[in-house]
């Protein structure tokens, strides 16, 4: 057998000449099992560099390649939505009921999510909710009606209902239009004029109101994505 044959056998035995870096070396030495990972302590300088990387790119240290990372902002978006709709949800009635205001008083339902997704190092934000708002209007009693409550105080007629928004999303904010459904709850024949006045005021200004809230949340979530 030639010296060349001996050298070839030696290279195959040692992992094609790559020594301890060879897959075949570790496979043979560890009975087919990969070597156990060992922890490596990093210096304070390396830790600071990782912190600067996260701050400047918004990418976690574990995702250095920046391929995909998602961060949830749902709780923030829900809380912000509730604050904004109550602050801005005011609808002035016209005609005989001028001076009366139908107001959004809370959020009855809000289902969905909001998030910021890092794709190849670039943040992309979005949100999509289905929500139902509650509204209410108070009218003073007119002459001829029972104008006192059980405590003898002046009573008022309460008209209330909901605004259902099936898609409260970033797409709607960009399109500046949004579908909604207004309902008056517990209708009463004697209060029909008031109920119709509330419905008309809400229908007239509701889309502008919703789009304003959508754009505000979109702007604020975009700002959060860049931090």
- Tens digit of pLDDT for each residue in 92-136? 999 999 999 999 999 999 999 999 888 777 888 999 999 999 999
**Structural domain boundaries of the chain?**
3-62, 68-225
The pLDDT of residue 124: 86
- Regions in the chain scoring below 70 on pLDDT: 1-42, 44-69, 142-155
Tokens of 40: 């490596």
What average pLDDT does the structure give for the chain? 78
Chain Cα centroid distance, residue 49:
31
Tokens of 35: 């070597």
The pLDDT of residue 121: 74
DSSP the chain: --HHHHHHHHHHHTTTTTGGG-HHHHHHHTTTPPPPP---PPPHHHHHHHHHHHHHH---GGGTT--EEEEE-HHHHHHHHHHHHHHH-EEE--GGGTT-EEEEEEEEEEEEEEEEEEETTEEEEEEEEEEEEEEEEEEEPPTTS--B-TTSSBPEEEEEEEEEEEEEEHHHHHHT----EEEEES--GGGHHHHHHHHHHHHHHHHHHHHHHHHHHHHHHHHHHT-
> Does the structural domain 68-225 have CATH classification 3.15.10.20?
yes
The pLDDT of residue 15: 44
The pLDDT of residue 224: 87
Residue 10: HSE in the Cβ half-sphere, 13 Å Cα cutoff? 6
Tokens of 226: 């860049």
The pLDDT of residue 18: 44
């Amino acid at each position: 057998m030639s010296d060349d044959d001996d050298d070839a056998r030696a290279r195959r035995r040692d992992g094609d000449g790559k020594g301890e870096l060879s897959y075949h070396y570790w496979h043979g030495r560890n009975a087919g099992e990969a070597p156990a990972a060992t922890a490596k302590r990093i210096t304070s300088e390396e830790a600071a560099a990782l912190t600067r990387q996260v701050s400047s790119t918004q990418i976690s240290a574990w995702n250095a390649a920046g391929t995909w990372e998602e961060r949830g902002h749902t709780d923030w978006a829900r809380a912000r939505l509730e604050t904004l709709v109550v602050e801005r949800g005011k609808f002035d009635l016209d005609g005989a009921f001028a001076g009366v205001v139908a107001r959004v008083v809370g959020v009855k339902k809000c289902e969905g999510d909001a998030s910021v997704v890092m794709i190849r190092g670039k943040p992309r934000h979005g949100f999509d909710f289905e929500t139902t708002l509650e509204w209410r209007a108070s009218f003073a009693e007119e002459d001829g009606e029972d104008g006192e409550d059980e405590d003898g105080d002046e009573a008022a007629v309460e008209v209330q209902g909901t605004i259902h928004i099936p898609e409260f999303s970033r797409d709607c904010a960009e399109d500046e239009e949004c579908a909604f459904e207004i309902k008056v709850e517990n209708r009463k024949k004697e209060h029909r004029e008031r109920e119709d006045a509330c419905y008309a005021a809400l229908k007239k200004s509701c889309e502008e109101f919703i789009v304003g809230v959508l754009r505000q949340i979109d702007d604020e979530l975009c700002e959060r994505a860049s931090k």
